[in-house]
């Protein structure tokens, strides 16, 4: 099924995708279209490879934000075998921008924490397009503390443009809650896996982003600031977001190179929004392998290793040391 | 009242500094609190507080002056002064990042946006860190993250109280990209260990404390003190305004607003900081 929403650089692909869909719709009892279908498929595959091989950072941002891209709720369906949602934050309210609860991956039980955008306009409004309020982060922290108590590994799916910048969010301590999550996550004594599935928007992402293994799906970004925000500050106009996207070096390949993440989880040809099922399959495979690895870390080493993982990040000069 | 200095708008959150930073050259300065034109020397003699009756406006104070104001005379021993930034992203906006850093160093006399070290406050030994909002908006990149982390680790090792005075409109420094964001994780992890070791952390918020600095160490004090009318928050007021498209409440994101909402413990005028911090130390440290 071709995606509903088309990105500018996908136009040549869409022409072929539409043609193929048309061929496949026509009843063809004597297989007269078979050759044409095959040629179109091959052509499409080749073109997809060409287009996606040379996406520039700004185009990757658009893929990461694609409305048809699978979100946390989709992966709960496609990757996990059971999900028991737990809503409470024990303080203020239920933030739909963060979903938490028990989840089962084959026979493994985990605590799931995922930022959630929603596919339709109504859900996107409800979640502020996946921008959590302090209560969302509070909810995540309560679940993490519970996971520590019951010795469940934690799986965090990161997908936010940033923590919500609103009046209520400030009144209820957005800065404090993010800070607290970051501090506490460094000490939660159970394995934590963090995967950027879409957008990794600054502090709002990091607030569920401290863990023992950090991964990014291929066409995602993880940044200190949104490209629009950066452009607005540096060049006084958000329309230079493409320029900012190139300057910020925030693609999965960049972050792997900086040693900030442990791995890139590949997406199917044409990116996740074209093929939810294959993406989910790759993600599930990776998650099972990572879970096996992190749960094998000796208990006594877990927190030290997590500390060192973040401790060594930073690039500076020191003379006469 | 737009400043012409090229570094002025470099701010992660798009937060306009509420008050004009720095005490401009010349003998007289204008107070943004009361609007009066004041003899600069009088402001400096009063620790950067407006001398007009009833005004109490707190001007910006550079990091080294802050040390002099806060700690016992000549008691400060600066640590890790030779850590300087590199340019991991090859970042350039209107000028290349390394050139920007050089200019900021020349302008402020600092190597980066923070200084850390050991000193005494009314005879009480402590570890102290100051971020200076004049150096690329007091933003935290690898250097600030590393210096603070080392200072916190030393405070843990030496069982000493920790005082960090924050002044940062810039939050995490975008010129170092994701590495800056990760400094939040690094510093907070060090604070977690310090917290576990029962160390006392007094966080002092000054104008402005925003973004990734507010959303990491600055908010995590056992006791959080703010200077009066400082701008403190996560998202810059202009970003909030653009998002919610409504009038922001009176005094939004001021120290007083944070006190009212439970995120600041005490608002303390600058001349009382020494007394207040000493008193907190005496309650918590034996
Ligand atoms: Zn005044």
* Cβ atoms of A278 and A286 closer than 8 Å: no
CB-CB contact of B71 with B58 (8 Å) = no
Half-sphere exposure for B146 (CA within 13 Å, toward CB): 20
pLDDT value of position A199: 98
Residue A263, H or E segment: strand A263-265
Using an 8 Å CB-CB cutoff, list chain A residues near B243.
164-166
pLDDT tens per residue across all 321 residues of chain A: 555 788 999 999 999 999 998 888 888 888 888 888 999 999 999 999 999 999 999 999 999 999 999 999 999 999 999 999 999 999 999 999 999 999 999 999 999 999 999 989 999 999 999 999 999 999 999 999 999 999 999 999 999 999 999 999 999 999 999 999 999 999 999 999 999 999 999 999 999 999 999 999 999 999 999 999 999 998 999 899 999 999 999 999 999 999 999 999 999 999 999 999 999 999 999 999 999 999 999 999 999 999 999 999 999 999 876
Per-residue confidence (pLDDT) for residue A321, from 0 to 100: 61
Q: Distance (Å, rounded) from C-alpha A221 to C-alpha A214?
A: 13
- CB B177 to CB A320 under 8 A? no
* Closest alpha carbon to A249 in B178, B98, B139: B178
Alpha-carbon Rg for chain B, nearest whole angstrom, is: 18
Query: Where do we find the tokens 């925003």?
Result: B210
Q: Which residue of B has its CA nearest to A210?
A: B185
| A113 within domain boundaries | yes
* Closest CA–CA distance from residue A186 to any residue of chain B (Å): 5
How far apart CA A11 and CA A292 sit, in angstroms, is 41
Which pLDDT belongs to residue A30? 82
Contact residues on chain A for B191, CB-CB shorter than 8 A: 183
Torsion of CA B158, B160, B164, B165, to 10 degrees: -130
- pLDDT in the model for residue B9: 39
Q: Is A3 inside any structural domain?
A: no
- Calculate mean pLDDT across residues B160-165: 98
Q: Specify whether A33 is located in the same domain as A89.
A: no
Long-range contacts of A8-11 (CB under 8 A, 24+ apart): A9/A51, A9/A55, A9/A59, A10/A51
| A176: chain B residues, CB-CB within 8 Å | 215, 219-220, 263
pLDDT for residue B94 is more than 70: yes
A159, with CB counted inside 10 A (0-12, 13-18, 19+), is buried
- CB distance B178–A258 less than 8 Å? yes
CA–CA gap between residue B53 and residue B35 (Å, rounded): 12
In a domain, residue A157? The reply is: yes
* A184/B193 Cα distance (integer angstroms): 10
Tokens at residue B23, please?
Answer: 């005490």
A320 within domain boundaries: no
Cβ atoms of A48 and A71 within 8 Å: the answer is: no
Report the chain B residue with the minimal C-alpha distance to residue A172. Answer: B261
Among chain B residues, the shortest Cα distance to A306 is held by: B189
Cα-to-centroid distance, B25 and ligand 1 (Å): 18
Residue B213 phi/psi, 5-degree rounding, is -80, -45
Are residues A303 and A284 located together in one domain of the fold? yes
**A–B: how many Cβ contacts below 8 A?**
214
Say yes or no: A84 and A23 in one domain.
Answer: no
Give the tens place of pLDDT for each residue, B221-266.
Answer: 999 999 999 999 999 999 999 999 999 999 999 999 999 999 999 9
B58 DSSP β-pair partners: B49
A12, A149: one domain: no
d(CA B48, CA A261): 44
3-state secondary structure of A61: helix
Mean pLDDT of the region B60-79: 98
**Chain-chain contact of B12 with A233 (C-beta, under 8 angstroms):** yes
Centre of ligand 1 from the C-alpha of residue A112, in Å:
53
Is A249 part of any domain? Answer: yes
Q: In this predicted structure, what is the pLDDT of residue B31?
A: 95
Ligand 1 centre distance from Cα of residue A312 (Å) = 45
> Sign of the CA dihedral A76, A77, A82, A85?
positive
Contact assignment for A316 to B86 by CB distance below 8 Å: yes
Pairing of strands B77-79, B201-210: unpaired
- Given pLDDT bands bounded at 50, 70 and 90, which one contains residue B22? low
Contact assignment for B177 to A224 by CB distance below 8 Å: yes
What is the residue range of A153's domain? 61-311
Scanning the structure block, which residue is given the tokens 């499409």? Answer: A44
Examine the domain organization and report whether A78 and A214 are in the same domain. yes
CA–centroid distance, residue B71 to ligand 1 (Å)? 26
pTM here?
Answer: 0.94
Q: Are A72 and A116 in contact (CB under 8 A)?
A: yes
pLDDT value at position B7? 38
Say which CATH number the domain at A239 has: 3.90.226.10
What pLDDT, on a 0 to 100 scale, did the predictor assign at position B10? 41
| Residue A317 within a domain | no
List b or e across A52-66, with b for residues whose CB sees 16 or more CB atoms inside 10 angstroms: beebebbbbbbbbbb
State whether A40 and A155 are in the same domain: no
Whether residue B181 and residue A180 make contact (CB cut-off 8 A), yes or no, is no
Asked whether residue B23 carries a pLDDT value surpassing 70, the answer given is no
Check CB contact under 8 Å for A233 and B174: yes
Q: Name every residue whose Cβ is closer than 8 Å to that of residue B239 and which is 6 or more positions away in sequence.
A: A165, A229, B13, B14, B15
Closest-CA distance of chain B to residue A156, Å: 16
φ and ψ of A265, to 5 deg:
-95, 120
Q: A250 contacts in B (CB within 8 Å)?
A: 177-178
C-alpha distances in angstroms, A72 versus A163, A164, B127? Answer: 17, 18, 43
CATH architecture of B61-284: Alpha-Beta Complex (3.90)
- Which residue did the predictor score with more confidence, A235 or B214? B214
Distance between CA A252 and CA A55 in Å, rounded? 12
Smallest Cβ–Cβ distance between A165 and the set B143, B183, B240 belongs to B240
β-bridge partners, A83: A103
**C-alpha distance from residue B277 to each of B47, B66, B87 (Å):** 17, 14, 37
Inside any domain, residue A1:
no
Residues A274 and A169 in one domain: yes
> Quick one: tokens of B155?
């405070």
Among candidates B192, B214, B234 on the partner chain, residue whose Cβ is nearest the Cβ of A186: B192
* Residues linked to residue A316 through DSSP beta bridges, in sequence order: B85
The full set of domain ranges for chain B reads: 61-284
- Burial pattern A138-149, b for ≥16 Cβ within 10 A else e, equals bbbbbbbebbbe
Examine the domain organization and report whether A39 and A142 are in the same domain.
no
With 0-12 / 13-18 / 19 or more C-beta atoms within 10 angstroms meaning exposed / middle / buried, residue B90 is exposed
Structure tokens at A193: 């896996």
Number of domains in chain A: 2
CA–centroid distance, B269 to ligand 1, in Å, is: 14
Whether residue B19 is predicted with pLDDT greater than 80 in this model: the reply is: no
């Amino acid at each position: 099924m071709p995606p509903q929403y088309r990105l500018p650089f996908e136009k040549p692909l869409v022409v072929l995708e539409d043609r193929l869909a048309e061929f496949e719709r026509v009843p063809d009892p004597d297989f007269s279209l078979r050759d044409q279908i095959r040629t179109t498929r091959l052509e499409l595959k080749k073109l997809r490879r060409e287009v996606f091989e040379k996406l520039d950072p700004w185009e990757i941002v658009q893929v990461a934000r694609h409305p048809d891209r699978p979100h946390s709720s989709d992966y709960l369906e496609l990757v996990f075998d059971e999900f028991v949602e737990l809503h409470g934050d024990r303080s203020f309210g239920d933030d739909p921008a963060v979903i938490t609860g028990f989840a089962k991956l084959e026979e493994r039980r985990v605590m799931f924490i995922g930022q959630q955008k929603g596919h339709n306009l109504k859900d996107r409004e409800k979640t502020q397009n996946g921008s959590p309020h302090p209560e969302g982060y509070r909810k995540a922290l309560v679940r993490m503390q519970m996971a520590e108590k019951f010795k469940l590994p934690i799986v965090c799916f990161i997908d936010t443009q940033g923590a919500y910048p609103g009046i209520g969010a400030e009144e209820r301590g957005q800065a404090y809650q993010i800070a607290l999550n970051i501090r506490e996550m460094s000490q939660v004594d159970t394995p934590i896996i963090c995967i950027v599935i879409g957008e990794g928007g600054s502090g709002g992402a990091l607030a569920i982003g401290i863990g023992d293994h950090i991964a990014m799906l291929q066409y995602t970004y993880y940044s200190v600031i949104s490209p629009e925000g950066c452009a607005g500050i540096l060049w006084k106009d958000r329309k230079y977001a493409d320029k900012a996207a190139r300057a910020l070096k925030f693609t999965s390949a960049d972050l792997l190179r900086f040693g900030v993440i442990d791995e890139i989880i590949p997406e199917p040809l044409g990116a996740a929004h074209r093929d939810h099922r294959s993406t989910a399959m790759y993600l599930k495979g990776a998650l099972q392998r990572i879970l096996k690895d992190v749960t094998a870390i000796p208990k006594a080493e877990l927190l030290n290793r997590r500390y060192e993982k973040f401790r060594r990040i930073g690039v500076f000069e020191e003379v006469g040391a | 009242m737009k400043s012409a200095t090229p570094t002025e708008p470099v701010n992660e959150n798009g937060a306009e500094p509420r008050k004009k930073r720095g005490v401009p050259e010349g003998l007289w300065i204008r107070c943004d609190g009361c609007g009066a034109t004041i003899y600069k020397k009088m402001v400096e003699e009063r620790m950067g507080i407006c001398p007009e009756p009833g005004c109490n406006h707190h001007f910006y104070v550079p990091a080294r002056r802050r040390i002099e104001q806060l700690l016992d005379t000549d008691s400060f021993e600066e640590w890790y002064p030779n850590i300087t930034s590199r340019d991991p992203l090859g970042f350039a906006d209107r000028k290349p990042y390394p050139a920007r850093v050089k200019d900021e160093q020349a302008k402020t006399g600092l190597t980066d946006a923070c200084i850390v070290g050991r000193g005494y406050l009314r005879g009480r030994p402590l570890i102290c860190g100051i971020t200076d909002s004049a150096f690329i908006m007091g933003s935290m990149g690898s250097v600030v993250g590393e210096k603070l982390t080392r200072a916190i680790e030393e405070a843990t090792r030496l069982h000493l109280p920790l005082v960090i005075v924050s002044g940062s409109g810039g939050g995490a420094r975008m010129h170092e990209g994701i590495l800056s964001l990760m400094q939040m994780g690094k510093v907070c992890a060090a604070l977690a260990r310090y917290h576990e070791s029962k160390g006392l952390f007094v966080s002092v918020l000054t104008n402005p404390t925003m973004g990734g600095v507010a959303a990491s160490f600055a908010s995590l004090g056992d006791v959080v003190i703010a200077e009066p009318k400082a701008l403190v928050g996560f998202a810059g007021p202009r970003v909030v305004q653009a998002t919610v498209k409504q009038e922001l409440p009176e005094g939004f994101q001021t120290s007083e607003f944070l006190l009212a909402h439970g995120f600041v413990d005490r608002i303390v005028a600058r001349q009382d900081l020494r007394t207040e911090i000493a008193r907190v130390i005496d309650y918590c440290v034996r």
